Amino acid sequence: MAKPRDHLAVMSSRAATLPGDPDFFPTAPAGGRAVGELVRDVLDPAAEICWEPACGSMSLAHGLADYFPRVLASDAYAYDGNRIFDFLGEAPPWCSADWIITNPPFGDNPERFIRRAYAQARRGVAILGRVGLLESLGRHSLLYRDCPLTLMAPFSERLALVKGRWDPDASSAAFYAWFIWIKPPRRAAAFMARVGGQLLPAILPIPPGTLARLTRPDDAALFGVSDRARGLA
């Protein structure tokens, strides 16, 4: 269910690395399309407005714009024409959205992003994170009680995230997944696993070949900054 490309509320032309900003790990546009396809084609076809609150150079928002009729984008830092808004700050939200979908800064506490997004989204939340996000005693109550996780969509292939840029030629040793919450009163249970009468998050893998299938010819020209292109490989 690809959407027209003219629905991005704030757009950027190219990646911009911020000196001293260690938390800038852009997401390949195909990674955004993978979750956009999952949300709009499977989980919530009626979703209209998506907010990406840690947009950076817009590569993730660029992918989401193929699926959502309207994509709103902001970031706590100025990159290249984005709306400046600190998602974890004290100011009230600058917009309202059906879904909040983001790859939050690595240095921030992911629990804060999850709680804030779950409280503010009308219909659902998708957070990109390492599979290890499931670990730790402290997150158990968050993921299974306070903000009940609906499903996890791990990439069967490696989604490479590189500090400071999106490198189309990069590889990764880390495993990433989209962590997805469907909010009441929508029927999250329809997408969850039932084990012994208990509802638990389901696993819906993103199959091999998805990233290649969802990569567009202009992605690298718009956002890609590879070591090979910079003469470092």
pLDDT of residue 117: 96
Q: What is the pLDDT of residues 65-99, one digit of tens each?
A: 999 999 999 998 887 777 899 999 999 989 999 99
Three-class secondary structure of residue 26 per DSSP? coil
pLDDT of residue 161: 78
User: Cα 5 from chain centroid?
Assistant: 18
Gap between the Cα atoms of 72 and 61, Å rounded: 8
Q: What is the pLDDT of residues 151-183, one digit of tens each?
A: 999 999 988 777 777 677 777 768 889 999 999
Nearby residues of 132 by Cβ (< 8 Å), 6 or more positions away: none
Q: How would residue 106 be classed by pLDDT, with cut points 50, 70 and 90?
A: low
pLDDT of residue 47: 97
Gap between the Cα atoms of 149 and 93, Å rounded: 23
Gap between the Cα atoms of 124 and 75, Å rounded: 20
Q: What is the pLDDT of residues 6-19, one digit of tens each?
A: 455 543 322 334 44
Kind of pairing, strands 83-84 and 70-75?
parallel
Q: What is the pLDDT of residues 178-230, one digit of tens each?
A: 999 999 888 899 999 999 989 999 999 999 999 999 999 888 888 766 554 44
Q: In the chain, what are the domains?
A: 29-223 (3.40.50.150)
- Listed residue (96, 66, 71, 54) closest to 11, CA to CA: 71
Percent of the chain with pLDDT over 90: 54
User: How many Å is the maximal CA-CA distance in the chain?
Assistant: 57
Task: Tell me the β-bridge partners of 176.
Answer: 130
Q: Which two tokens stand for residue 211?
A: 């990233």
Gap between the Cα atoms of 107 and 51, Å rounded: 21
Helix, strand, coil share (%) of the chain residues, nearest 5: 25, 20, 55
